[in-house]
Amino acid sequence: MEFGQGIHFIIGSNGEGKTNFLESIYVLALAKSYKTSDLVLIRHQEDFAKVEATVLSQSRLFDLSMIISASGKNAIINKTSQKKLSDYIGHLQIVSFLPEDMNIIKGSPRERRYFFDVYMGQMDKNYISNLGNYKYVLKQRNELLKKMNQPNKEDDLLLDVITEQLAEAARPVVEHRKKFIQEINLFLEKQYHLFSSKNEYYRIQYLPSIETEIEKVMKSKYRTDKMSYTTNFGPHRDDYDFYLNDVMAKDYASGGEQRTLILTLDMALAEMMKDRLKEYPVILLDDVFSELDYEKQNKLIQYLSKIQAQAIITTTSLHELNQDALNNVKVFHVSKGHIQEEKQHGKSSKV
Amino acid sequence: MQYPKALEDLISEFMKYPGVGRKTAERYAMFSVIDLKNESINDFSQALISAKEKIRPCNICHHLTDKETCDICSDGTRDNSKIMVLETTKDVFSIEKSGTYRGLYHVLNGALSPLNGIGPNELNLVSLWKRLEKDDVKEVILATSATQEGEATAQYIKRVLREVEVLVTRIGYGVPVGSNLEYADDQTLNKAIENRRVF
């Protein structure tokens, strides 16, 4: 299948495999599923799942493929297996809106951290390795805390050493998150009116678990950590708040307002990636129309046509949309897991 | 089709070796049965048994030896004022091969890693502290690997040795000699920049 510039619609009834198709692009870009386990990607009674595509990025062609099996995953660029996922991620950049993203604002801090980590990682591979390093030292420290049942000075000294390592590993992660949120707020500011003509504005606030003097704070929490056998403070407990007109979206935003906020944030992320990487990411929108009103649906289409990014949108039908906005779009139909391009769509679509 | 039991047993023995998977184990087993002469098989099994019986850790530095004390520790011409601390006995061979170091060694037998169940008591640390009680050691060179575990181990030893009058140094890490900067990964380059020295 071939996708060019502009908007592509994937049309099909529920359960025909539209989302699976978007998910395969997601996996190819990020080397993981947005579901909790990568193994759910593998079809029943098969040994592995494989996704392949040729992408044009920074004026270069890359053959990407991801193979996921019970024994692990293999990320391949131009037939070469990549040892580190941080060397793989970033060749195909995406911004995605998935039904799951509706939980970001009101869901657990973990979901918010994951959401932002995905974008920071795509824009800077050092962030992926710094975060990976932090998570590894954190595992070591938590394992040590679990084993420290009787007091002894050897374990206390080792806890000190590993705490210093953890603080050292935490610093670049916290700095990166702080700077990223400052910058995304600037891009968000330019997108306030994407969907809403009202005087609404959005802001995201980064809430670091420890902001400064990380080592000192971590060392002052030994008692709490030993009692709970785990590390209670650090970037793995960071959070983000979403503000809508200076009130916390968590407490006050309606379902519709949350959706608009997240979509606006997605488009701000796309603009930020364009600014950083000099090209737009592929924009994946899963079933985004079902819950947007007519006006917002068309504003989204207008915006996507204007920026000329490659967008792939799943929907159950196009009838609800303003037909004038559907010039120059490509349409694909999905049924029973198979996908086929519609040869002629609308008045002037190209074949 | 299944292999005859004796062959299958041999395959599973080979599979116990690091880096040997099923396919390689099958090749080794076939080779042993088809290509090796009886006497070679005999020599091989004898070599295995006698290595296991005779090789043990040196009573001073824990490097592998077939004597009570290893050749390096009992070599009177070596510099007794330096001890290089290493994770494995394999590392001793690597440093010895490079040929410049003339001091002594101390093999820890691993690195601190709670995830792998290795704490201070699992390493040869007490014997290291004992060696330092004697006055002749002036410098301890920490040559554990540049991994999180190796770094934690080096830091741990450094902290304990704060109370001992001895110079503690860490070997340098950075860009491999003979390679271009463009091929070094970010972390290696960061380390190399961090560890730069006046030139």
* Cα→Cα distances A155→A83, A84, A229, Å: 34, 32, 13
Q: Number of A to B CB contacts under 8 A, please give it.
A: 48
Alpha-carbon distance of A31 to A94, in angstroms, equals 12
Q: Which residues of chain B does A154 touch, with a Cβ-Cβ cutoff of 8 Å?
A: 119-121
User: What does CATH list as the number for B5-54?
Assistant: 1.10.8.420
User: With 70 as the cut, is the pLDDT of residue B140 above it?
Assistant: yes
| Phi, psi at A50, each rounded to 5° | -135, 135
Domain borders along chain B are 5-54, 64-198
User: What average pLDDT does the segment A255-264 reach?
Assistant: 89
Q: Which residue of B has its CA nearest to A146?
A: B114
Residue B193: pLDDT band (50, 70, 90) is: confident
Instruction: Give the residue from A161, A215, A225 with the most B CB atoms within 10 Å of its CB, the best one to mutate.
Output: A161
Structural tokens at position A277: 């990487």
Q: Which residues of chain B does A147 touch, with a Cβ-Cβ cutoff of 8 Å?
A: 114, 119
User: With 70 as the cut, is the pLDDT of residue A172 above it?
Assistant: yes
Residue A343: pLDDT band (50, 70, 90) is: low
Q: Which residue has the tokens 């002894």?
A: A152
Alpha-carbon distance of A174 to A186, in angstroms, equals 19
User: With 80 as the cut, is the pLDDT of residue A52 above it?
Assistant: yes
The pLDDT, as a whole number, for residue B92 is 95
Beta carbons of A337 and A17 less than 8 angstroms apart? yes
Q: Which residue of B has its CA nearest to A141?
A: B114
Residue of A143, A155, A161 with shortest CB distance to B155: A161
The pLDDT, as a whole number, for residue A36 is 61
The pLDDT, as a whole number, for residue A349 is 33
Instruction: Give the residue from B22, B112, B160 with the most A CB atoms within 10 Å of its CB, the best one to mutate.
Output: B112
Alpha-carbon distance of B99 to A183, in angstroms, equals 53
Structural tokens at position B142: 């920490």
The tens digit of pLDDT for each residue in A282-326 reads: 999 998 887 788 888 888 988 998 888 899 999 888 877 777 777
Q: Which residues of B touch A (CB under 8 A)?
A: 112-115, 119-121, 148-149, 151-152, 155-156, 159-160, 186-187
Q: Which residue of A has its CA nearest to B186?
A: A126
**Do β-strands B56-57 and A72-77 pair in parallel, antiparallel, or remain unpaired?**
unpaired
The pLDDT, as a whole number, for residue A157 is 95
CB contact under 8 A, A137 and B156: no
| Phi, psi at B118, each rounded to 5° | -110, 105
User: What average pLDDT does the segment A340-351 reach?
Assistant: 52
DSSP state of B118: B
The distance of B87 to chain A (nearest Cα, Å) reads 17
Looking at residue B150, its amino acid is: G
Q: Where are the alpha helices (DSSP H) in chain B?
A: 5-14, 22-34, 38-54, 71-74, 89-98, 126-133, 148-160, 186-194
Q: Which residue has the tokens 């998150």?
A: A177
Residue of A126, A144, A147 with shortest CB distance to B186: A126
Q: Which domains does chain A have, with CATH numbers?
A: 105-277 (1.20.1050.90)
Handedness of CA A84, A85, A88, A90 (dihedral sign): negative
Determine contact: A161 vs chain B, CB below 8 A: yes
Q: Which residues contact A127 (CB under 8 A, 6 or more apart)?
A: A117, A120, A121, A173, A176
Bridge partner list, A205: A241
What's the predicted TM-score (pTM) here? 0.86
Alpha-carbon distance of A148 to B109, in angstroms, equals 22
What ipTM was assigned to the predicted interfaces of this complex? 0.81
The CATH number fitting domain B64-198, selected from 3.40.1360.10, 1.10.10.10, 3.30.70.270, 3.10.300.10: 3.40.1360.10
The pLDDT, as a whole number, for residue B121 is 92
Residue of A129, A154, A160 with shortest CB distance to B121: A154
Residue of B120, B152, B159 with shortest CB distance to A165: B152
Determine contact: A248 vs chain B, CB below 8 A: no
Q: Which residues of chain B does A157 touch, with a Cβ-Cβ cutoff of 8 Å?
A: 120, 156, 159-160
Q: Which residues of chain A does B152 touch, with a Cβ-Cβ cutoff of 8 Å?
A: 140, 158, 161-162, 165
Q: Which residue has the tokens 């970033």?
A: A90
User: With 90 as the cut, is the pLDDT of residue A132 above it?
Assistant: yes
Q: Which residue of A has its CA nearest to B126?
A: A154
Determine contact: A166 vs chain B, CB below 8 A: no
Structural tokens at position A236: 């793995």
CB contact under 8 A, A165 and B148: yes
User: With 90 as the cut, is the pLDDT of residue A61 above it?
Assistant: no
- List the 116-155 stretch of A: residues with Cβ below 8 A of B: 126, 129, 133, 136-137, 139-141, 143-144, 147, 154-155
Nearest to B157 by CA among B108, B88, B99: B108
Nearest to A225 by CA among A159, A283, A287: A159
CB contact under 8 A, A140 and B148: yes
The distance of B182 to chain A (nearest Cα, Å) reads 15
Q: Pick the range with the lowest mean pLDDT from A147-161, B111-125, B180-194.
A: B180-194
The distance of B123 to chain A (nearest Cα, Å) reads 12
User: What average pLDDT does the segment A145-155 reach?
Assistant: 87
Half-sphere exposure of A332 (CA within 13 A, CB side): 23
